[in-house]
Amino acid sequence: MRLALGVRYLGRAYDGWQSQPSGKTVQDKLEAALAAFAASRISTLCAGRTDSGVHGLMQVVHFDTEVERTPFSWVRGTNRYLPEDIAVQWAQVVPREFHCRASAVGRRYLYVLSQSPVRPSIDAGRIGWTMYPLDGDSMRAAAQILIGQHDFSSFRASACQALSPVKELRRIEIRRDSPDERCRWYFEFEADAFLHHMIRNIMGCLVRIGQGQAKPEWMAEVLAARSRLIAAPTFSPAGLYFVGPQYGPQWGLPPEVTVGSGAAAYHGLS
């Protein structure tokens, strides 16, 4: 049977999602836990690979297995062998046609940024930081320039393996939790897919504009240049969360990953 899992994790302690010889990745830890529970080797595929230090609010994986357990047994049994900063949230049998990556119709990310004269301490590794005040209107004007289908080469890492730099960025929403000097900013991104480092590179440009170091119109110049040399440096991974993929209702998956469900996406972060 084919099984889908929803997985949540803090990425600070790991070398990203994808398995590596070091064994210090989220995929390595998950597959080791699945193997311990099922007493057989299990290989997983994920909806969206995350980099070192990036977190997952609702990563979706799938795998094929001959081991028969109830969905809730997969959740509790796997979590027994996982470290405390990784936990399976749900498990569900899916049709053989389901593919966690290919079946996704969209993907969502959230960047949480602290605006404060002092760097984070308790939230270190879980939140980005700027010591300078940001102008929300300027950042929103710049973000609107990116909405639509574009060649995002200016925001693409050199190691990106995507076949095309053309993506459809559907939504960027920017808000803050208070008007005070010390506050949190939330940047929500939704697209059909993202390039490697795309959001962190966009964040670098948005923060530069928000700090008044560039005009909102500069974002159009960066986009048109199709060159990483024009854009701002890649921003910190600390505040970046993979909110999760989105699927059509035909798969019968939980509301956290179903288009149009209206479920609260950020699980208390906002």
**Residues designated as active site:** 51
Q: How far apart are CA 232 and CA 209, in angstroms?
A: 10
- What is the DSSP secondary structure assignment for residue 258, as one 8-state letter? B
Closest to 166 measured CA to CA, from 184, 157, 153, 185? 153
Contacts of 172 (CB under 8 A, 6+ apart): 143, 144, 146, 147, 187, 188, 189, 190
CA distances from 10 to 7, 51, 110, 153 (A): 10, 11, 14, 28
Distance CA 74, CA 195 (A): 32
CA distance 53 to 30: 17
As a whole number of angstroms, the distance between CA 69 and CA 159 comes to 39
Label residue 233 exposed, middle or buried (CB < 10 Å: 0-12, 13-18, 19+).
exposed
